[in-house]
Structure 1
Amino acid sequence: MSNTESQSVRISSEPVQLQALEPMLEKVREAVGDVPALLAIAKEIGLTAPKPGEGNTAKLWELLASVTGVDVAAGRVLEPHLDAVAILEQAGNHNQPEGAWGVFAAEGPGLKLEAKRDNAGNYVLNGSKPWCSLAAQLDGAVITAHTEDNNRAAFAVHLKDPGVSCETPPWTSRGLQEIPSGTVHFDQVPATPIGGENWYFKRPGFAWGGMAVAACWLGGAVAVARDFKTALAKGADNGREPDQIALASLGEVDRIITSVTGYLAQAAERIDAGELDSGADTNGPSAWSEALRIRGTVAAAVERVQTVVTQNLGPAPLAFNETYGKRMADLSLYIRQHHAMRDDAQLGGLTLKGDRTW
């Protein structure tokens, strides 16, 4: 469980191609825990990172997985910025947004963010939005809000506007401590519409973004698997050869990582080939059903890898190895963005309607 290892995560590229990521991954490693530095790196990466559906989706996911493999929180910083850049591009805005951006689309009980036109015909936002990670440190965000027609639409919003106020919640979790998510309040905040009403959710990029998050989860699982392999190798070097249980566990972890990585490689190829560009409201296989499959498969894989590794390595690294303990805690919280059986129920409904390949 080296504190200095900074290896890329391969999905489909040749290993020699991934070597180009190493200098950037080293910068990420040096910035662990420093959110302003991580945001600066995200802005830099956003200038040249591939966008989904443009022929290099697997390389985008390798980038996200590799950063998350170095530090889960760093991936949690990078992913929404790249997602915001992609969303703006999909809406026809080809200019790079200034600063670091996020994407705030969550809803919460008792909270509602409304978008209405003012007397000049421009949209303004009023209300509250929950689960806005790093809002106080971001320059802007793509935010969903309820319109006067009872639909939801996406808007580009500058978070430095005086009408924006960010709550800083007491973050008691050990995981993702440097990225607390709080409620943001909006009072007559100007907003620029992105796409039409309901466009944000119906575009295939919504599903592609969900798969990109799963690529981040995979990166965290790969890092945990490498922690396990390194620990076994170190034990062997010190005269403690792994027993059959440890070897079987490492073999299971290898099977899981290999199969999930292959699934993501296949999905990225299908996205770039135009085979996953339909919404969930169409007949036949849709991008959203595939996103639900991938997210569920990767989340289950992550949880299984974490369980196998912690059972084998025991309490010592959780108690005494900062990098390993942080990774485990960060990753456990991050994958809870997956809604488990509720997402499977949604997928089951689509499957029942014929949205399947079998």
Structure 2
Amino acid sequence: MSDSETFLGALGRAETNTADEHRKRVAAWLCEEIDEGHLDLPLPGHGNTWQRWAILRDLARRDLSLVRLAEGHADAVAILAELKASPPEPGSVWGVWTAHPPGPDLHAQSEGSGWRLNGVKQFCSGARVCTHALVSALVSEAERQLFAVRAEAAVAAPDTWAAAGMAASDTLTLIFDDVAAEPVGRVGDYIARPGFHHGGIGVAACWYGGALAVSQPLATQAASGNADVQTRARYGAIDRELYSAETVLRRAAEEVDADPEDYEAGAKMRAMRVRAVVASACAGVLRHTGEALGAGPLAFDPHYAHAVEDLAVYLRQHRGDRDLAGLGTAAAAHEGGTDVES
């Protein structure tokens, strides 16, 4: 083996070890946050919704992979409470695995007094740190139901996350082979509850916290005495984006607390609007910081580089024009006084 091949092999192992160390560090942080009670957050719509989202925002500013797992745990607690299920046991770590993209799916079958899950579930964040999870599965060709499972009963498919961004969230594809499951609510209850939309705004609060982390190096430059007008203008544009994001999040929190049971008429459109505004603001922050700072911080500032990579991936939970089309349909129907499905 040549010297160059030896060097490249060692470099690859170092990068793998660094990524694995970050994943383990995030898992340890998550468990510490849970054990110390820092994720005992106010439930959405119970009068302190902004406090809930502000805590998620601050965790996101620290590390987006951490907040992805923390938000999943907190969301699971809220779902269990809303659907009148037993709360998590002390010390347990929960995820919410409810994505259903094209491809293989997860199926639930009733056997006697219990249920069993078989199939594949993609996008399972915290696959190796969660002790339990809420999982959606098909109970018929078109109907899904939510189930509680022990995470250790599923098998992680290796190498099912290719992106550098959000790698420490340990998001993997899991294989379920005759796994025991406990129903949580009835068919369709997971989506039909107001908290489904409140939780979607909570994710936007995480995006916003990530944007705050991304903006920090440029804020430091703009605050210096020798900052040029271009730097100050770029940061002015970023401040505009961040202000708009926090403003809509705060207003949404007030509206949720004022009418927590509102589902179709308010909660759904509110969530679409807030997610659209915050996603656009975060995309603007990524663009302005990238153009103003250049490659230097990406190469030499690990926190900034991780934040940029993670936010770019996390934002893909907003589906761009597809989600805007849904918002446009709902908003036009609302404005026109008609009832149009989005």
TM-score (norm 2): 0.86
2:337 is aligned with 1:337 = no
Match of 2:255 in 1: 270
Q: One-letter code of the match for 1:38?
A: W
In structure 2, do the counterparts of structure 1 residues 186 and 170 end up closer, same or farther at CA, with 3 Å as the change threshold? closer
Superposed CA deviations along residues 148-185 of structure 1, whole A, max 9, x for unmatched, are 37311111111123xx2111225432212222322211
Contact 1:58 1:265 in 2 (8 A): yes
Superposed CA deviations along residues 287-339 of structure 1, whole A, max 9, x for unmatched, are 11111111111111001011111111111111111111111111111111111
Match of 1:43 in 2: 34
Aligned-pair Cα RMSD in Å: 2.0
SS of the residue 2:262 aligns to: coil
2:231 is aligned with 1:246 = yes
Aligned counterparts of 1:58 and 1:151: Cα–Cα separation in 2: 33
Contact 2:34 2:40 in 1 (8 A): no
Superposed CA deviations along residues 80-106 of structure 1, whole A, max 9, x for unmatched, are 010011100111135334511100111
Q: Which aligned pairs between 1:140-179 and structure 2 lie closer than 5 A?
A: 140-148=132-140, 150-161=142-153, 164-169=154-159, 171-179=161-169
Aligned counterparts of 1:110 and 1:314: Cα–Cα separation in 2: 38
Contact 2:107 2:137 in 1 (8 A): yes
SS of the residue 1:108 aligns to: coil
Deviation at 1:110, TM superposition (A): 2.8
Superposed CA deviations along residues 252-285 of structure 1, whole A, max 9, x for unmatched, are 21122112211111100110111x53333xxxx3
Query: What is the percentage of aligned positions where both structures have the same residue?
Result: 35
Give the counterpart of 1:304 among 284, 298, 322.
Answer: 284
Give the counterpart of 1:112 among 79, 92, 105.
Answer: 105
Match of 2:271 in 1: 291
Aligned counterparts of 2:272 and 2:336: Cα–Cα separation in 1: 12
Aligned counterparts of 1:209 and 1:329: Cα–Cα separation in 2: 23
In structure 2, do the counterparts of structure 1 residues 126 and 295 end up closer, same or farther at CA, with 3 Å as the change threshold? same
Contact 1:100 1:139 in 2 (8 A): yes
Deviation at 1:227, TM superposition (A): 2.3
In structure 2, do the counterparts of structure 1 residues 181 and 36 end up closer, same or farther at CA, with 3 Å as the change threshold? closer
Give the counterpart of 2:62 among 47, 60, 70.
Answer: 70
Match of 1:279 in 2: 263
Give the counterpart of 1:224 among 214, 225, 239.
Answer: 214
Give the counterpart of 2:25 among 8, 21, 34.
Answer: 34
Q: One-letter code of the match for 2:31?
A: A
Aligned counterparts of 2:199 and 2:146: Cα–Cα separation in 1: 15
Superposed CA deviations along residues 14-45 of structure 1, whole A, max 9, x for unmatched, are xxxxxxxxxxxxxxxxx986033123134234
Q: One-letter code of the match for 2:184?
A: I
2:193 is aligned with 1:203 = yes
Contact 1:116 1:148 in 2 (8 A): no
Contact 1:85 1:97 in 2 (8 A): no
Aligned counterparts of 1:142 and 1:46: Cα–Cα separation in 2: 21
Q: One-letter code of the match for 2:263?
A: G
SS of the residue 2:44 aligns to: coil
TM-score (norm 1): 0.82
Deviation at 1:71, TM superposition (A): 1.4
SS of the residue 2:175 aligns to: strand
Contact 2:108 2:137 in 1 (8 A): yes
Aligned counterparts of 2:156 and 2:331: Cα–Cα separation in 1: 40
Aligned counterparts of 1:247 and 1:83: Cα–Cα separation in 2: 38
Gaps of 5+ in 1: 1-30
Q: One-letter code of the match for 1:324?
A: Y
Q: One-letter code of the match for 1:116?
A: Q
Q: One-letter code of the match for 1:246?
A: T
Give the counterpart of 1:214 among 198, 204, 208.
Answer: 204
Aligned counterparts of 1:355 and 1:114: Cα–Cα separation in 2: 40
In structure 2, do the counterparts of structure 1 residues 155 and 42 end up closer, same or farther at CA, with 3 Å as the change threshold? farther
SS of the residue 1:49 aligns to: coil
Contact 2:215 2:289 in 1 (8 A): yes
Q: One-letter code of the match for 1:57?
A: T
